[in-house]
Chains A and B, each alone.
Chain A
């Protein structure tokens, strides 16, 4: 974390100048920021005062240190008082992690499991839902869901931003369907695009390039422009990525090589403040990506091209006063098209699959009294899918879905919040009302907080699981078919979380929870008569513990440890469902990052490592299916960065990054043609004007 900017941001947050939460700015050498006054003092000039001293001077409580979030309730609230477990990774932590992809950043979050199948191809899962399927978590960019409407999967190569053009990543762990509806049953990962704390336009051009000892190269060219004017806000991001690191399988006897992960992305956010209380914003983006299409149904490492278009229009009324709180009206859409030309050697592909979802919704917050507020919201959406492997009855049809939620927040005392939220969803596949709920009690003081949350949420079956019809082109036999009778997988959990700050330099957040996963999805290749998706009949219950901490020993040194453990209370149905299988989840994951800035903010460094305990897989997968039997030993991911300001004006920075694994040729995916995690050294140069 850069000292001067952080100090400025802290002051801004206290003053309410910047309403987006505690700012976590980048590392300009000489920030051209406006003067910020505290008690008549210009705190923006206090660059020589250590952060802790300043925070003590300003009397920041833990709540103010942790900042605010909208990822839990879709309304602004403090992280400390949010009714769910949330990890916030700010821009500086991202940059000094050395990681070059969002999944690699997420490795440092407790409760998150990351598996790399091939360059640009990752599976990320939360809390016991590790497995082969990648449709068990929601990915949001500025609150816009980017999961493919066809099968609910997250393609991390479709993140439209360079990882360092992200302002914050907020990882909400645990059921969040009461806010987001279907699919947010294990959590959401919300990526917030980069803002600026200054009023003058800032821009950046970044060039990275490197190589891997295993062969292959990696590089990126990216740029951003951010203008945060008093009325008009314009932010534009461009990004081109090439990742060919470790594209060959670890087994030299396998000749297949995965294609490089290549991506072109552009995204623009335009916001206009119409009046003191109202604003409109338009956010659009597009991504073209090419990478290996390998997943639990596509075992070949063939190339797959995806095109993503998304957008959102938002009208917002805030701080209306009286009983009129906040009002938000939005319309958003996403379109994903996939091309994956089949070859004679290839089984199933997603070639020709397309999906479109448009949604309109509203979120309203009414302060009923000083201690009671009501939140209402709803959304309606239309989905259309088209794929050659879908039941003709479901293909090319427009299908509506809608949901409605209501929440009540009571604060009977200054230190206690009680929050209850319930939601009903009618989704086209389930065709019956699906419910979700969350009840939380949060007790918080200046330097600590406790949170007890019970919640239940669901994931709707995907179109593939409900209507897929995969036909063997040679025999014309149906190899796997969806079922319209399957129920929604559900996650019910009870968790106790705490956050405490023994000193202004140290924050510790432990969480313990018990979760029960039921109606998990099974790709039933065993049945000869009809191989289909069905629900697992054996719920899985497990205990989990997560710990994360931030210890700012000095401005020049911050230590960020994290750990997660899983203890399964029942092993029944082992190998049955495609996620939630005990042996497919690492029982222990841990991470440690050390980072800081030196030399009057002209140097930045960071080094980190994560480790995951062994996993094993004994599953049938692929179309046509094969038996996958794989043991994944303990693997570690390491990354590091060293950066230096080369020229002060204009601000020119150079950097070197290393990314690797231990053991050196470790493969963390059980898929037969999966490639190693890879090792690379990347040099970078960037020109910033903040």
Chain B
């Protein structure tokens, strides 16, 4: 009896000692993403832009955002895979301008759509100049907004979701490259802050 009990206890002890359990670490792919906006991340953004300029792949700049979307924490840093500027002439002779940038998140592709800018008369769509005065902002209320200022459109797999956002603030830093900083609350809950840096086209 004693031998059996001792053997059993030894084996059980061995069983317990053979394993030192470590928790499984399988973070989401968002944890591999880098937020590129803000002065504190300027070096990261510069590096990403340098990589974008050097790559042979389609890259027109960088776009990044973070926040909470669909109740999940989200961080994205992506090259701008393509972009577009669309001008629509108004009856009063002014031009309404809309800017699109497209990027790639781990789980979805997305586009930011900033409509409602005003371009100066005679300005052509090939340029990236956007007057600061033309920004429609719900915060500053300088110009009434006919449309949501920012649309985040995301596609993943077979799904399409348009996440409308009301942008609180947009800062356009330069008129050479186009740099836009934004923060906003999303119509279906959540919020994002981010930026995109659209490189000027090569001459």
Contacts and interface: CB of A to CB of B under 8 A. Distances in A.
Interface of A: 317, 320, 322-324, 327, 329, 360-362, 364, 366, 376, 378-380, 382, 391, 393-394, 399-402, 404, 426, 428-429, 431, 466-467, 469, 472, 475-479, 481-484, 525, 527-532, 624-626
Given A380-B15, A431-B23, 15 more contacts: A324-B5, A364-B5, A401-B19, A402-B16, A426-B21, A472-B157, A477-B156, A477-B157, A483-B28, A484-B23, A484-B25, A484-B26, A527-B72, A528-B156, A530-B107
Contacts of A379: 15
B27 A484 contact: yes
B21 A400 contact: yes
Nearest to A461: B24
Contacts of B109: 475, 477
A366 B2 CA distance: 11
A530 B12 contact: no
Nearest to A482: B26
Nearest to A532: B28
A477 B1 contact: no
B157 A402 contact: no
Interface-centre pick from B16, B28, B74 (highest chain A CB count, 10 A): B28
Contacts, number: 138
Interface string B10-39: 011011101111111111111000000000
Given A378-B12, A481-B107, A399 B24 contact: yes
Contact of B16 (A380, A391, A624): A380
A390 to B, nearest CB: 8
Contacts of A401: 19, 21
A624 B158 contact: yes
Nearest to A315: B7
A477 B106 contact: yes
A482 B74 CA distance: 16
A402 B13 CA distance: 11
A215 B22 CA distance: 53
A168 B10 CA distance: 34
B190 to A, nearest CB: 9
Interface string B66-97: 00011010100000000000000000000000
27 contacts: A320-B4, A360-B14, A360-B18, A362-B12, A376-B12, A378-B15, A380-B18, A393-B27, A394-B24, A399-B24, A400-B19, A402-B19, A428-B22, A428-B24, A431-B22, A467-B26, A477-B157, A478-B29, A478-B107, A479-B156, A481-B107, A483-B26, A484-B23, A525-B157, A529-B72, A530-B74, A531-B157
A55 to B, nearest CB: 37
A404 B14 CA distance: 12
A635 B72 CA distance: 43
A379 B13 CA distance: 10
A233 to B, nearest CB: 23
Contacts of A391: 26-27
A429 B157 CA distance: 28
A429 B23 CA distance: 7
B8 A327 contact: yes
Contacts of A426: 19, 21
A431 B25 CA distance: 10
Majority secondary structure, B binding face? mixed
B24 A376 contact: no
B106 A361 contact: no
Nearest to B18: A380
Interface-centre pick from B7, B8, B16 (highest chain A CB count, 10 A): B8
B25 A393 contact: yes
Contacts of B104: 476-477
B128 interface: no
B51 to A, nearest CB: 17
B154 interface: yes
Nearest to A475: B109
Contacts of A625: 157-158
Contact of A528 (B23, B24, B161): B161
Nearest to B21: A426
A531 B18 contact: no
A17 B128 CA distance: 94
Given A362-B8, A484-B23, A529-B69, A477 B28 contact: no
B107 A477 contact: yes
A364 B107 contact: no
A376 B156 CA distance: 51
A428 B19 CA distance: 10
Nearest to B10: A362
A531 B107 contact: yes
A90 B5 CA distance: 36
A313 B74 CA distance: 50
A320 B108 contact: no
Contacts of A380: 14-16, 18-19
Contacts of A364: 4-5, 8
B99 to A, nearest CB: 23
A324 B20 contact: no
B47 to A, nearest CB: 22
Interface in B133-162: 154, 156-159, 161
A360 B8 CA distance: 12
Contacts of B11: 329, 360, 362, 378
A379 B104 CA distance: 46
Contacts of B12: 362, 376, 378, 404
B4 A327 contact: yes
Given A362-B12, A400-B19, A529 B154 contact: yes
B15 A402 contact: yes
A531 B156 contact: yes
B103 to A, nearest CB: 12
Given A402-B15, A426-B21, A529-B72, A322 B1 contact: yes
A280 to B, nearest CB: 15
A324 B1 CA distance: 5
B24 A477 contact: no
